[in-house]
Amino acid sequence: MSSIKQLSVVLANQIAAGEVVERPASVVKELVENALDAGARQVTVDIEDGGIRLIQVSDDGIGMSREDLPMALLPHATSKIAELSDLEAVATLGFRGEALASISSVARTTLTSKTDEGDIAWCLTAGSAEPRPASRARGTTVEIRDLFYNTPARRKFLRTEKTEFGHIDEALRQQALSRPLIGFELKHNGKTQFSVRAANCDDTRRRRLSQLCNEEFVESALNIDEYGSGLSLRGWVAKPTFSRSRADLQYFFVNGRVVRDRLVSHAIRQAYRDVLFHGRHPAYVLYLELDPSAVDVNVHPTKHEVRFRETRMIHDFLFRSLHRALAETRAGLSAESTGDEAGIDEDSSRAGEAGPDYRSAQPQATVRSEIFKPSQSLFGQPSQSAYNSSTDSPGRFIAEPAPAGRPAEWLELYQNLRTPTEVSSSLESSYAAHESLPLGMALAQVHGVFILAQNSRGLVIVDMHAAHERIIYEGLKQKADAQVELPRQALLVPFSLRLSSLEVAALDEFRSELEAFGLVYTLASAESIVLREVPAVLRRGNHEKLLRGLADDLVQYQQSSRIEALRDRLLSTMACHGSVRANRRLTLDEMNALLRSMEATERSGQCNHGRPTWVQLSMNALDNLFLRGQ
C-alpha cells in the first residue's frame, strides 16, 4: 500500500498561505497589488484591531464579472499570464494566482465586484456555491475577517495591535510611493491615518513625498533623473548630511514593484561610501525602469526579491548615477537644489530681495590649486596670527601682507588695515562683490577651529579641518585615478589561499581588472590560488581577508570595489594628517582661499568621515535668536 498521498486542496492552500500570508500586512500588500493591476485610481484600506478582526480593501478598478468571482478564489487562477513565455516579461504586480486562494484558506473572505458592463454588483463569500446580488459602484471590495481563525498556532505568533498596524501602515506607504498617480487612504478602527491624493506634477509629488516620508527628507533630497543602456533611474536621494540610524527610509522600486535586493543595496552603499558618517544609513526613494524581460520577478512567492539578467550593468548604472549626484553636493552650491542647506531659510532674503543665482557663481579655479602647494604657510610653520594680543592697543587688527603667489586683489584689500572699526571703502566694495559667492567672504576665526564668513544669505560657519581634509582627499584621489595601474609590490614569499571552485572561477574571470589594481596571482588548482604581487599601498594589509572579500563580491555582484575602498581609506588617512589642524591661525586670504576651494571641490559638504563641513545661518534665523522684529 502506497504511503504517498495527494494533499487536499484546503491543506495545500494553507501551506501556500504560510509563504504568502505572514501577517496582516502581507494580506494588505497582496490585495492592494491586485487593485493596482485592475487599473484602480483610488484605493481605500479599512483596518480593525491591527488587521486581525478586519481588512477591507476597496478600489475603483475594472472589477470582476459574476462568472469571474468563483474563479478568483481558486488556486493558481489568474488573468495576468496564460503561457510559459509570459513569465519572461511579467509587467503586472501579481501573476501567480495564489494570494486570494491562500488568504481565503486562513480567513473569512468575501468578494464584491462590479464591471462597467454589468447592471449590478455581485458578492461571493468563500465556501459559497453561487454569487448573490449586491450594491456598489464599479470596482472591487475584498473583505477579510478573523485572520488565522482556523490556524490558532499561526495567530499566536502575531504581535500587538499597534505593531501589526505599523506593518500595515508601512506596506501601504510603500505602495503609495510606488504609484504617485493613484490616491490612497488608510483607516484604522474608523479613524483616517493618512490620505494622499494623486500627484501629476512635480510640486504635488514633493508634497505627497513629504506626507509619506517626512518634510526633512524632502528638504534634503537630491533629484535623480538618469537614462542609459535601456535603463531609467528617477527619484530622490538624501544628502549625506541627512542620514538615519536605521535603514528605515529606503524605498526602491523596479518597474513599480517594491523590492529588497542585495545588489541594489550594495550599489547604493558604495555610492555613499566616503560621504556618510560611520554607522549611519542613507535615505532614498528610487524608481528603476527597464525592459520586463531583463528582470525575473518569479523568485519568491512574496515577490520582494528579483533577479537581474545583467547584474553588473545594473550595479554600475546605479552606482555611477548616485555617485555623480552625490559628487555635486559641494559646499554652498548644494543649496541650489532645495534652497536649504544645514539651516538655510528659503525666505532669508532681506527687504524682499531675491537671493543670488548660485549656478552663475563661478569659483576661482586658480585659488583651488594654490591650497595644495606645500610652500605656502598653510602647510608650513604657523603664520603670524591675524589677531595679535601682544599689541599695544587691545583688540587691534594686525594685517599681514598676502604670501607669495596669492591673488593680487588680496594685497590691495588688506593693506593699511588697522582696527575693525576702520574699514576702508575698498573692503566694503570687496564684501559686496564676494557676498554673491556661495560661501561668501571670510570674516574671522573662532578658537582656531571655525571660520566665520558672510554671504548674501547670512552667516556661514566652516569647520576648517574637516573642509581642508576633504579638499586634500579629493585631490589625492584624482591623482591616484589618473594612473593607469597602481604600483605593485612583489611578495618575498608568495601567499597561497584555498577557496571554493566558484570563487576561484570568479577571480580568474576578472583577472585582468584585478591586475590593473596591482593584484597579481596564479591558479594553483581549481580550488586554490597563489598571490604573488599586491598594490604597493596595501603591502602591509591583510591579504587573505582582501582576497576572500573580493571573491565573495565577484560571486555575488560580478564586481568589487574593495581595493579601491582600501586605497581611498589610506588616502583619507593621509589627507587627515596633512590638513590644517585645530588652533592653527589663518590669515583672511588663507580663509578665503579655503572657501573658494570648497566651492570648487566635489563632496565638500562633508569631510572624509561624513561629518558636515559647513553650516549656514540665515538672517531670519539670526533675527530669531535675538528676538529682532518680535
Least confident of 422-436, 499-513, 514-528: 422-436
Residue 415 lies in a domain: yes
Q: Are residues 148 and 14 in the same domain?
A: yes
In 282-366, DSSP assigns E strands to: 284-289, 295-296, 307-308
Q: Are residues 395 and 461 in the same domain?
A: yes
| pLDDT in the model for residue 554 | 81
The domain total for the chain is 3
Q: Are residues 306 and 404 in the same domain?
A: no
d(CA 173, CA 177): 6
| pLDDT in the model for residue 430 | 60
Nearest to 111 by CA among 61, 150, 151, 56: 56
Task: Give yes or no for residue 60 having a pLDDT over 80.
Answer: yes
Task: Give yes or no for residue 408 having a pLDDT over 90.
Answer: no
Residue 332 lies in a domain: no
d(CA 597, CA 474): 11
Q: Tell me what the mean pLDDT of segment 3-16 comes to.
A: 72
Q: Are residues 314 and 455 in the same domain?
A: no
**C-alpha cell at position 36:** 493596482
Q: Are residues 240 and 294 in the same domain?
A: yes
Q: Are residues 442 and 499 in the same domain?
A: yes
Task: Give yes or no for residue 353 having a pLDDT over 70.
Answer: no
Give 339's pLDDT tier (boundaries 50, 70, 90).
very low
Residue 70 lies in a domain: yes
Task: Give yes or no for residue 584 having a pLDDT over 50.
Answer: yes
Q: How far apart are the first and last CA of the chain?
A: 93
Q: Tell me what the mean pLDDT of segment 265-291 comes to.
A: 90
| pLDDT in the model for residue 485 | 62
Cα 297 to chain centroid distance, Å, stands at 23
What pTM did the predictor assign? 0.72
d(CA 519, CA 124): 67
Range of the domain at 367: 363-630
Residue 341 lies in a domain: no
From 168, 195, 222, give the residue that closes a domain.
Answer: 195
Q: Are residues 434 and 305 in the same domain?
A: no
**C-alpha cell at position 448:** 582656531
**C-alpha cell at position 610:** 561624513
Q: Are residues 605 and 549 in the same domain?
A: yes
Residue 4 lies in a domain: no
Give the sign of the dihedral formed by CA 470, CA 475, CA 477, CA 478.
Answer: positive
Q: What letter would DSSP give residue 585?
A: -
Q: Are residues 608 and 496 in the same domain?
A: yes
d(CA 365, CA 597): 8
Q: Are residues 241 and 186 in the same domain?
A: no
Q: Which residues of 441-478 are buried (b: 16+ CB within 10 A; e: fewer)?
A: bbeebeebebbebbbbbbbbbbbbbbbbbbbbbbbbbe
- The number of C-alpha atoms within 13 Å of 277 and in the hemisphere containing its C-beta is 15
Consecutive H or E run containing 25: helix 24-37
pLDDT per residue as tens digits for the range 259-273: 988 889 999 998 998
d(CA 47, CA 187): 6
% of residues, the chain, pLDDT over 90:
42
Residue 335 lies in a domain: no
Q: What is the CATH number of the domain that holds 609?
A: 3.30.1540.20
Nearest to 262 by CA among 487, 510, 556: 556
| pLDDT in the model for residue 396 | 28
From 195, 230, 262, give the residue that closes a domain.
Answer: 195
pLDDT per residue as tens digits for the range 120-177: 999 999 988 799 999 999 999 999 999 999 888 888 889 999 999 999 999 999 999 9
For residue 334, which phi and psi values (nearest 5 degrees)?
-70, -15
Q: Are residues 161 and 31 in the same domain?
A: yes
Residue 337 lies in a domain: no
The arrangement of strands across the sheet holding 284-289 comes to 221-228, 231-238, 284-289, 250-254, 257-258
Q: Are residues 172 and 225 in the same domain?
A: no
Q: Determine whether 299 is exposed, middle or buried from the number of CB atoms within 10 Å of its CB (0-12, 13-18, 19+).
A: middle
Give 327's pLDDT tier (boundaries 50, 70, 90).
confident
From 195, 222, 246, give the residue that closes a domain.
Answer: 195
Residue 203 lies in a domain: no
Q: What is the CATH number of the domain that holds 23?
A: 3.30.565.10
d(CA 220, CA 216): 6
